[in-house]
């Protein structure tokens, strides 16, 4: 007669019921939830912050690089192979560079052997590390520099004793606005303007620039540039790079140095982007400890809830359903920690970015990776306690507590 | 020549049930027990008599080392964990001495937990839980949490949880053990009422005062049934009385 009985089949729990049973233990002990999720939160927050801060720094450098361009080359005098002396560039070096196919802008500077001071009362030994240089009119455009205040040298002002200061030079001299005067080689020059920051040409930032003509007429400049700045079409950079030495000095091209100042920034961006493995490892250790904490909490939870497990078994929970319940609880615990950690890490990155004026970047892969890590940890940490719970004898609930 | 017409198999059919624990301790030594639908019986015996082991086996929480167990027509030995769990979910209700209500959960939700593994949707489980609490006289206390209820009320919530799925068999393990005598009497009265409405109920107790209030008493001692008073089948056989 038993053959005609309908087949027994355990009912499936809906996802909502799974979540409900999985969170039952947590609802009763909020403090324990917070403490055991904390370890995971700290681990994830560390990793997100490490990745986020390095990504933000890199983003900032890349943005700057984008603005400054990677198509500028700097030509300087090289040394003679035999004598070891500097071989100055030809007088018309800038013109020769300008004739190379693809070159768009050329600017030149010529170093002058003077110091710049606020007044004649200051000894001319005190240079403040500021160079006095003759500058061609095209220099500003070639550098893509902006004036922080005042104006750049032009055909007219370049003939008179006027000077434009790099931002570092201005700061060192204590000049804050155009119109003030500085003392160069026994003569006062009027400050026309101050150039904004120049990450690609730090020499210019530390210079006082006078017009090409006034340098020749009043400061004994021989007209031979010491540095030529050149900007070309992006696609032509390599070709131009190869052509420059022979164009500038056809007899001894090896005496001409050509450098790409943006390559330094690019390398820096790559370094900033490569986050510190040490810190990342530290976050990983915190995460591991957090996982152990969750496993520990789960084992205690199983021990404490023997009666609940027995009760659930007696009202019809299968072993699998008990396992799912505790793995869900473990996943919720670590997931909670992970979510809190992602928020914490993002906030930490945001605070750092805001305080150092860089863009706030949290790579999506870091968030996804953090969540995936917590899910793996939650499953691993919950597996053993869950299996233990499911193997508990269902007769437990019948014993009076 | 029984005139009892069996339209359904007996709720409980034990034949030669033996349970030995590792180490050679025999808790049950060949128990035969049949419980028909609609019975209200006591399984009574002192501690150590084997009545708890019998409860575990009848409740399919444990399997015997020998003998056959049929609950609601299903052979327990032939079922795996999943099917045994389904059997408990659909055919057996438990009431415990210590109530085992979930703290922090309302009476209605506690009763609805009894249907969690039944496959019914949540709203339906809650509705039936409300009805079950009405049946045990706690219709006014749906939202109360266990700590806001007296011991007798807690046990009534636990009984509601056990009957909410309308099981074929209700197993009550010392249901009055943790209660004062007035609450205990109320609980026994409730079990009588539920039985009148059709529930098959087995009360496991060491208390002869409790067992004597019930129509049938199965006495257990040293792992054996020593007396079966008021067995309807035996009575009908001996007296030819169609109950």
What was the ipTM of the complex prediction? 0.90
Whether the per-residue pLDDT at A1 is higher than 60: the answer is no
User: Is residue B93 scored above 90 in pLDDT?
Assistant: yes
Whether residue B79 lies within 8 A of chain A, CB to CB, comes out as yes
Q: Is B72 on the interface with A (CB under 8 A)?
A: yes
B146-153 mean pLDDT: 94
- The per-residue pLDDT for range A73-102, each reduced to its tens digit, is 999 888 777 777 777 888 888 889 999 988
Please tell me the distance from the alpha carbon of residue A212 to that of residue A137, in angstroms, as a whole number: 8
pLDDT digits (tens, 9 = 90+) for A101-120: 889 999 999 999 888 888 88
Give CATH for domain B38-52+88-239: 3.40.50.300
pTM of the entire structure?
Answer: 0.75
- Establish, for the pair of chains A and B, how many residue pairs have beta carbons separated by less than 8 Å: 120
Residues in B touching A2 (Cβ below 8 Å): 9, 70, 73-75
- Here the tokens at position A55 are 């990504």
Q: Which residues of B touch A314 (CB under 8 A)?
A: 59, 61, 88, 92, 94
Question: Of the given ranges (A141-150, B146-155, B211-220), which has the lowest mean pLDDT?
Answer: A141-150
Q: Is B90 an 8 Å CB contact of chain A?
A: yes
Query: Domain locations in chain B?
Result: 38-52+88-239
B196 touches chain A (CB under 8 A): no
Band (B3; pLDDT cuts 50, 70, 90): low
Task: Pick A10's closest partner by Cβ from B70, B117, B174.
Answer: B117
B204 φψ region: left (φ > 0), alpha (ψ -120 to 50), beta (else)? beta
Mean pLDDT, to the nearest integer, of B191-210? 93
Q: Which residue is associated with the tokens 């906030």?
A: A347
Average pLDDT over every residue of A230-255: 87
pLDDT at B98 over 60: yes
pLDDT at B18 over 90: yes
Tell whether the model's pLDDT for residue B86 goes beyond 90: yes
| pLDDT above 70 coverage of chain A, percent | 97
User: pLDDT tens, A185-223?
Assistant: 888 999 999 998 888 888 899 999 999 988 988 888 988
Which residues in chain B (121-140) have CB-CB distances under 8 A to chain A? Answer: 121-122
Three-class HEC string of chain A: CHHHCCCCCCCCCCHHHHHHHHHHHHHHCHHHHHHHHHHHHHHHHHHHHHHHHHHHHHHHHHHHHHHHCCCEEEEEECECCCCCCECCCCCCHHHHHHCCCCEEEEEEEEEECCCEECCCCCCCCCCCCCEEEEECCCHHHHHCCCEEEECCCCCCHHHCCEEEECHHHHHHHCCCCCCCEEEECCEEEEEEEEECCCCCCHHHHCEEEEEHHHHHHHCCCCCCCCEEEEEECHHHHHHHHHHHHHHHCCCCHHHEEEECHHHHHHHHHHHHHCCCHHHHHHHHHHHHHHHHHHHHHHHHHHHHCHHHHHHHHHCCCCHHHHHHHHHHHHHHHHHHHHHHHHHHHHHHHHHHHHHHCCCCCCCHHHHHHHHHHHHHHHHHHHHHHHHHHHHCCHHHHHCCC
- Give which of A29, A311, A324 to mutate to test B binding, by max B Cβ within 10 Å: A311
Q: What is the pLDDT of residue B197?
A: 92
Q: Please determine, for residue A2, whether its predicted confidence score (pLDDT) is greater than 80.
A: no
Residue A20 pLDDT > 80: yes
pLDDT the model gives residue B1: 46
pLDDT band, very low/low/confident/very high, at A401 (cuts 50, 70, 90): very low
Going by pLDDT thresholds of 50, 70 and 90, the confidence category of residue B236 is low
Note which residues in 12-71 of chain B have CB less than 8 A from chain A: 52, 55-56, 59, 61-62, 70
Question: B-chain residues within 8 Å CB-CB of A319?
Answer: 81-82, 85
- Exposed (0-12), middle (13-18) or buried (19+): which is A216, by Cβ within 10 Å? middle
Q: Which of chain B's residues have a Cβ under 8 Å away from the Cβ of A320?
A: 82
Tell me which chain A residues have a C-beta less than 8 angstroms from the C-beta of B97. 400
- Evaluate if residue B235 carries a pLDDT over 70: no
Q: Residue A28 — very low, low, confident or very high, per pLDDT cuts 50/70/90? A: confident
Q: How far is A271 from chain B (nearest CA, A)?
A: 54
Q: Å from A380 to nearest chain B CA?
A: 24
For chain A, the structural domain boundaries read 14-64+271-398, 71-259
pLDDT at B53 over 60: yes
Residue A400's pLDDT is what? 54
Mutate which: A3, A315, A324, A399, vs B, most B CBs within 10 A: A315
Across the interface, whether the CB atoms of A313 and B61 are under 8 A apart is answered yes
pLDDT grade for B221, boundaries at 50, 70 and 90: very high
pLDDT digits (tens, 9 = 90+) for A282-291: 888 888 988 9
Say how far apart CA B73 and CA A355 lie, in whole Å.
75
pLDDT of amino acid A273: 66
- Residue-wise pLDDT tens digits, A318-354: 999 999 999 999 999 999 999 999 999 999 999 999 9
The verdict on A95 touching B (C-beta cutoff 8 Å) is no
**Range A272-276 average pLDDT:** 69
- Inter-chain touch A398–B82, beta carbons under 8 Å: no
A255 has pLDDT over 80: yes
Of residues B130 and A396, more confidently modeled? B130
Q: B177: distance to nearest CA of chain A, Å?
A: 10
| Predicted confidence (pLDDT) at residue A252 exceeds the cutoff of 90 | no
| pLDDT value of residue B217 | 94
């Amino acid at each position: 007669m038993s053959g005609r009985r309908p087949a027994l089949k355990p009912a499936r729990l809906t996802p909502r019921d799974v979540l409900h049973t999985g969170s039952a233990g947590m609802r009763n002990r909020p403090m324990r939830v917070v403490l055991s999720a904390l370890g995971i939160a700290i681990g994830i927050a560390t990793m997100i912050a490490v990745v986020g801060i390095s990504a933000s720094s890199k983003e900032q450098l890349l943005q700057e690089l984008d603005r400054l361009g990677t198509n500028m080359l700097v030509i300087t005098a090289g040394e003679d192979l035999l004598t070891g002396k500097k071989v100055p560039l030809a007088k018309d070096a800038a013109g020769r560079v300008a004739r190379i196919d693809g070159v768009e802008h050329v600017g030149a500077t010529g170093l002058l052997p003077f110091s710049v001071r606020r007044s004649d009362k200051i000894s001319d030994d005190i240079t403040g590390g500021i160079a006095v240089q003759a500058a061609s009119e095209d220099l500003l455009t070639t550098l893509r520099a902006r004036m922080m205040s005042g104006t750049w040298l032009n055909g007219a002002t370049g003939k008179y004793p006027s000077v434009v200061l790099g931002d570092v030079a201005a700061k060192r001299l204590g000049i804050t606005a155009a119109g003030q005067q500085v003392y160069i080689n026994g003569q006062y020059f009027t400050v026309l303007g101050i150039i904004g920051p120049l990450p690609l040409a730090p020499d210019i930032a530390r210079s006082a620039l006078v017009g090409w003509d006034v340098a020749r007429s009043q400061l004994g400049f021989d007209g031979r540039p010491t540095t030529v700045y050149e900007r070309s079409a992006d696609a032509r950079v390599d070709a131009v790079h190869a052509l420059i030495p022979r164009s500038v000095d056809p007899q001894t091209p090896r005496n001409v140095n050509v450098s790409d100042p943006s390559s330094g920034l690019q390398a820096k961006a790559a370094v900033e982007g490569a986050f510190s493995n040490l810190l990342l490892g530290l976050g990983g250790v915190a995460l591991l400890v957090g996982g152990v904490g969750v496993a520990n909490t789960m084992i205690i939870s199983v021990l404490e809830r023997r009666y609940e497990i027995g009760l659930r078994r007696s009202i019809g929970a299968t072993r699998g359903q008990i396992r799912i319940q505790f793995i869900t609880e473990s996943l919720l615990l670590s997931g909670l920690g992970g979510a809190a950690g992602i928020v914490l890490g993002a906030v930490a990155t945001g605070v750092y970015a805001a305080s150092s004026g860089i863009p706030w970047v949290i790579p999506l892969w870091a968030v996804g990776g953090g969540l995936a890590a917590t899910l793996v940890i939650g499953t691993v940490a919950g597996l053993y306690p869950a299996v233990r719970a499911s193997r508990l004898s269902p007769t437990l609930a019948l014993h009076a507590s | 020549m029984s005139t009892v017409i069996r339209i359904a198999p007996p709720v409980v059919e034990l034949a030669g049930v033996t349970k030995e624990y590792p180490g050679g301790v025999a808790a049950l030594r060949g128990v035969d027990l049949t419980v028909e639908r609609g019975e209200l019986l006591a399984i009574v015996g002192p501690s150590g008599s084997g009545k708890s082991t019998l409860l575990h086996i009848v409740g399919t929480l444990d399997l015997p080392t020998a003998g056959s167990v049929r609950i609601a027509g299903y052979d327990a030995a032939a079922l795996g964990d999943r099917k045994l769990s389904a059997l408990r979910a659909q055919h057996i209700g438990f009431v415990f001495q210590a109530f085992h209500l979930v703290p922090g959960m309302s009476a209605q939700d506690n009763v609805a937990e009894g249907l969690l593994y039944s496959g019914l949707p949540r709203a339906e489980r809650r509705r039936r839980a409300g009805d079950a609490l009405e049946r045990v006289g706690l219709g006014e206390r749906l939202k109360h949490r266990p700590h806001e209820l007296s011991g007798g009320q807690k046990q009534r919530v636990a009984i509601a949880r056990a009957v909410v799925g309308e099981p074929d068999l209700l197993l009550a393990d010392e249901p009055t053990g943790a209660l004062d005598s007035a609450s205990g009497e109320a609980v026994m009265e409730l079990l009588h009422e539920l039985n009148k409405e059709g529930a098959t109920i087995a009360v496991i107790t060491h208390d002869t005062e409790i067992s004597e209030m019930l129509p049938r008493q199965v006495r257990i001692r040293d792992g054996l049934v020593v007396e079966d008073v008021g067995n309807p089948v035996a009575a009908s056989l001996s007296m030819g009385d169609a109950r």
